Amino acid sequence: MHTSLRAILITALAIACLSSARADEKLPTDLAAVPGDGIGFIHIRVGEVLQGEAMKPVRQLLEKAGPKALKAFNERFVPAPLSIDRLTLIIIKPDQGGPEPPFVFIVGTSKPFDASKVISAGLPRAQEQKAGDVKYYVDSENDLAMKVLDDRHLLLGPSSTVAQYLSSKPMGSGPFREALRDAQTKAATIALNSSLLPGEAIAELPPPLQPLARAKLIHASLDIGKESKVDLRLHFADVEAAKAGEGALREGVGMAREELKKIKKEAEDKVYAKKPGEISPYADLPEAAVALIALGAITQLDEYLQNLPVKREESALHATVTIPSGPYGTLLATAALGTGFAIPAVQKVRMAAARSQSQNNLKQIALALHNYHSAYDQFPAAAICDKNGKPLLSWRVAILPYIEQDNLYKQFKLDEPWDSEHNKKFSDVLIKVYQIPGVNKPGDNLCYYRVFHSKGAIFDLRKGTRIQDISDGTSNTIMIVEAADGVPWAKPDDLEYDPEKPLPKLGKQYPEIFQAAFADGSVRVIQKKAPEKTLRALITRGGGEVIGNDF
């Protein structure tokens, strides 16, 4: 009995020691550098991907260059390009907030390199600096900093970000423990603690995808073997959040397929003749051949997305795509992994372009209002009214001559309503500067650029105001806003201001921000959650309030 008990105790102790050793297993330098209190990381095992079946033609082409050329190429640069084995992008928490999370790169090599040569070759104008006791090098001219972690790992990034990263004392692996374990064996791994993403970054995502960004942890990986497998896991705070995330994920797949449809159309345009039966010159053959291959790959990827199995297990979502082995299996798997992350990026770029276009529209409208003021020594009234004070047409009609629409302006009868038998056909004309890309649908003549009027706002309903009336200062007074609700652009329907009533909803493009043109002609982004007192102070032209920076 005593012997048995002793054996059991020894066995239990051994298991405990093994478990402890496994828990404290030392991570490679690049993965150990991922802070558990950061936003996330992306890790790619470049060497493994290059050795995959899909990259075999590339390897064969490189071999054809000959050992002498390969050796010369490798010796020209430090680290040797062909020794780059792993790439890690680390996303850290913003120091002062902001929409774009800061990041650093770590390059890992399969062979050791000379640190002094890396510094002299990579940053020849670099100055040595310190973050606490940590020495690193900064090229101020190019805003690039470098830290040699060891003889196989190099950290790079913008100067301020590298300084912030090196100065911090990050906690261990935190929520990324499982993802870091995957990263040691998977071809590619992505992990995001999306709860730390800045609100502005989430606000700039397409609204249908925003529930995904509210997952506590997003974990995706790519495994290359006999079959290539993409695995995606999302962990939410509760079941309800997971249900919303499930809907958003399916919506995201739909958006991805729509993007693929556009790319497919571009490929088809290069494959098919412009006219049936037309014979094309040989010069078009290479482009058509590449487009044909791309067409097949796009169709295959679309089929995978169409049948994407999404499972919800309590507060977690799980989706796996398995791609059969073959020369293009790795490429398709990589594309499948990237699609889920690339599509939001593509959408974000498009929304940023729409936001920029809306900003330009606001600037043009503000300039038109100032040109009107120069001509008439006052801004237009919020409405063109009849002799009895009844609003007939919007101020947007009054400034048509100043947005290169003078001919259209001359067609309006200013003593008739905007929707009279005569004026209606001109009110239906679409004015580009009055439309927000991505908000206005084709043929939609609604305008979301509206002004506040009455009771101390910059505009009055029936009479013009002058710059001299803006005693709060033109840089402190809102002139035009993006409203949440649109109206026909010629209709005299704007935002009547009343200090005793709730403010109207503002902003159509984004759930958390809206843009406004100020009386000085500048355009600024304003948070919807800004204090109501501040928003009211910005709306009035002569309230005498002190304006802070809390918007």
pLDDT surpasses 80 at 280: no
pLDDT at 204: 67
pTM exceeds 0.85, yes or no: no
Spatial separation of the C-alpha atoms in residues 192 and 547, rounded to whole Å: 37
Question: Strand 478-488 relative to strand 446-450: parallel, antiparallel, unpaired?
Answer: antiparallel
Instruction: Provide DSSP, 328-358.
Output: THHHHHHHHHHHHHHHHHHHHHHHHHHHHHH
Q: How far is CA 302 from CA 248, 252, 259, 296, 335, in A?
A: 18, 13, 10, 10, 11
pLDDT surpasses 50 at 326: yes
pLDDT at 328: 52
Alpha helix (H) ranges present in 27-76? 29-32, 46-50, 56-64, 67-76
- Element of type H or E holding 376: helix 329-376
**Which residues sit opposite 44 in a β-bridge?**
87, 188
pLDDT at 14: 40
pLDDT at 527: 83
Spatial separation of the C-alpha atoms in residues 192 and 174, rounded to whole Å: 12
pLDDT at 201: 66
pLDDT surpasses 60 at 4: no
Query: Out of 24-28, 117-121, 212-216, 264-268, which region has the weakest mean confidence (pLDDT)?
Result: 24-28
Query: Out of 235-244, 263-272, 421-430, which region has the weakest mean confidence (pLDDT)?
Result: 263-272
pLDDT at 294: 75
Average pLDDT over the chain, rounded to whole?
82
pLDDT at 391: 93
pLDDT surpasses 60 at 340: no
Instruction: Provide DSSP, 387-446.
Output: TT--EEEEHHHHTGGGGT-HHHHHHS-TTS-TTSTTTHHHHTS--GGG--TTTSPTT--E
pLDDT at 252: 81
Spatial separation of the C-alpha atoms in residues 502 and 256, rounded to whole Å: 39
Spatial separation of the C-alpha atoms in residues 222 and 45, rounded to whole Å: 10
Spatial separation of the C-alpha atoms in residues 79 and 84, rounded to whole Å: 7
Sign of the torsion formed by the C-alpha atoms of 246, 252, 253 and 254: positive
For 433-495, the three-class secondary structure string (H helix, E strand, C coil) is HHCCCCCCCCCCCEEEEECEECCCECECCCCCCCHHHCCCCHHHCEEEEEEEEEEECCCCCCE
Region of 132 please: left (phi>0), alpha (psi -120 to 50) or beta.
left
